[in-house]
Amino acid sequence: MRWEVLALALVVGAANWGFRYLPIRFGLGSGAEGGMLGRFLASVGPAAIATLFVASALPFVAGGALLAPVPGTVAVVAVWLWRRSVVLATLAGAVAHAAGFALGL
């Protein structure tokens, strides 16, 4: 196993753990109903999104295609900030990624 893969796994694992544990430990977040379980479930979403983003963008960046994940990422962030809808943001990201792929980014 290459040390870069191990280092990446440790960094992503630590960030994932932090996204899940720290909001529970310090009572951060939106004050989700349901006590500790509610805070845990509210913190799982961002951790899963960050993990999936790194896992999907890393092959492009490592292969030298630095612009490949940009259209989808920008679309997801823009639509989510505009509508606060995970569903619409995901669909917009998929469409933007497909358009970028079709254009050869």
pLDDT tens-digit series, residues 28-66: 655 556 677 776 766 677 767 777 777 777 887 777 777
pLDDT at 2: 76
Q: How far is CA 24 from CA 44, 47, 49, 99, in A?
A: 11, 13, 18, 39
Q: How many domains does the chain have?
A: 2
DSSP state of 78: H
Q: CA-to-CA distance for 17 and 90, rounded, in angstroms? A: 24
Q: Give residue 7's Cα distance to chain centre.
A: 19
Same domain, 61 and 83: no
Per-residue confidence at 1, pLDDT binned at 50, 70, 90?
A: low
Q: Which domain holds residue 79?
A: 67-105
Same domain, 61 and 77: no
pTM of the model: 0.55
Q: CA-to-CA distance for 45 and 43, rounded, in angstroms? A: 6
Question: Does the pLDDT value for residue 103 go beyond 70?
Answer: yes
Give per-residue pLDDT as tens, 59-92.
Answer: 877 777 778 788 988 998 999 899 988 889 889 9
Instruction: For residue 102, count other CB atoms closer than 10 A to its CB.
Output: 8
